Amino acid sequence: MKLSLGFSPCPNDTFIFDALIHHKIDTEGLEFEVFFDDVETLNQKALKAELDITKLSFHAFAHVADKYALLDAGSALGFGVGPLLICKDESLIASEELNKENSSLTVAIPGQLTTANFLLGIAFPNLVHKQVMVFSEIQDALLNNSIDLGLIIHENRFTYTGKGLHKIVDLGSYWEELTGCAIPLGGIVINRNLDREIQLKVNRLIRKSVEFAFKNPKSGIDFISRHAQEMDEAVMYKHIDLYVNKYSVDLDTEGRRAIDILFKMAHEKGIIPQITKNLYVTS
């Protein structure tokens, strides 16, 4: 049986899925047709239910929970891993314009349905002039003065200072102080129309793929390097160390609690609809 599988070219995703798609583990009769896309493209594909299995942001998942269920394996949650709001002009770091009603500041975001944008809305509700960009283009837009602020994710958090850009706030730290939970960034979901046995098998295989990667961290280096935005190996493994952790093996109670709090807060603020479906495959 062949299933369509979408994930990003970022090091954390390629690290997780390398063993699965290259048959370094027994895939129990399943084959995977892989689609590499940035997170916003994957979010949009999920809205149309184009893929059997896909990575998406948790914000987007809230809008497609009727079509997809969340696997326990493969998620990106953690502490100190949140999106960063950055700028080129240092004077903006403490600017009143950040919190001013009808602020004129323009901010580039990596997608409307990203968890990053959700957190930005909580922390800075008056920043309403938003431009959606591919995450890897945001720093250049700041350097070219096309925007005032940039919301960066993934490996860009390791490179912005070297380009003379400045942090305004770490929205992951903001979330952690607000809730005491790890920040849920992205998860792996599977189409609800697939048989439950297939859903559980896919979850099992992704968990095995992550475990293989942890035991053999250099096994996928060529694959990871080929798809990474930043080719420096040290940067790639910093990225992996931040985003791939115990929650990537199994969400467990702690990870699910963080997701449930995120969705409850988002619903209370009118950002997402109320979810009536059971979110998880294994519950």
pLDDT for 122 equals 82
Domain boundary among 179, 196, 225: 179
Both 173 and 227 in a single domain?
no
Residue ranges at the known binding site for substrate:
55-57, 115-116
Q: Which one of 140, 161, 179 terminates a domain? A: 179
Q: Of 33, 30, 29, give the one whose Cα is nearest residue 5.
A: 33
CA distance 85 to 95: 13
- Fill in the amino acid letter for 148: D
- Catalytic annotation present for 63: no
**Helix (H), strand (E) at residue 33:** strand 31-36
Q: What one-letter code names the amino acid at 134?
A: V
Domain presence at residue 213 = yes
Q: Which residues contact 123 (CB under 8 A, 6 or more apart)?
A: 85, 169, 171, 174
Domain that holds residue 39: 2-78+183-268
Q: Tell me the CATH number at 215.
A: 3.40.190.10
Binding-site residue numbers are: 55-57, 115-116
Catalytic residue among 154, 166, 227, 267: 154
43, β-bridge pairs: none
How far is residue 139's CA from residue 145's CA, in Å, rounded to a whole number?
Answer: 10
Distance of CA 169 to the CA centre of its chain: 18
The pLDDT value recorded for residue 283 is: 54
Please report whether residue 116 resides in a domain. Answer: yes
Report how far residue 169's alpha carbon sits from residue 242's, in angstroms, rounded to the nearest whole number.
Answer: 18
Residues 66 and 198 both lie in one domain: yes
Question: Do 73 and 27 share a structural domain?
Answer: yes
CA atoms within 13 A on the CB side of 6: 23
Q: How many domains does the chain have?
A: 2
Which H or E element spans position 57?
strand 53-57
Residue spans of beta strands (DSSP E) within 88-203: 106-109, 129-132, 149-152, 166-170, 183-191
According to DSSP, residue 96 is labeled G
Please name the residue ranges forming H helices in 180-281. Answer: 196-215, 221-227, 233-243, 246-249, 252-268
Confidence (pLDDT) at 282: 67
Per-residue pLDDT of the chain (283 residues; tens, 9 = 90+): 999 999 999 899 999 999 999 999 999 999 999 999 988 899 999 999 999 999 999 989 999 999 999 999 999 998 888 899 999 999 999 888 898 988 999 999 988 888 889 889 888 989 999 999 988 899 999 999 999 999 998 778 778 999 999 999 999 899 999 999 999 989 999 999 999 999 999 999 999 999 999 999 999 999 999 988 656 888 888 889 988 999 999 999 999 999 999 998 888 877 788 888 899 996 5
Residue 69 lies in a domain: yes
CA-to-CA separations, 86 to 78, 108, 112, 185, 275, in angstroms, rounded: 20, 10, 18, 18, 33
Asked if residue 281 belongs to a domain, the reply is no
CB 153 within 8 A of CB 113: no
pLDDT of residue 34: 98
Report how many helices (DSSP H) and strands (DSSP E) the chain contains, helices first: 11, 11
Tell me, what's the pLDDT at 229? Answer: 64
Whether pTM exceeds 0.75? yes
**Backbone conformation region of residue 102, classed left if phi is above 0, alpha if psi is from -120 to 50, else beta:** left
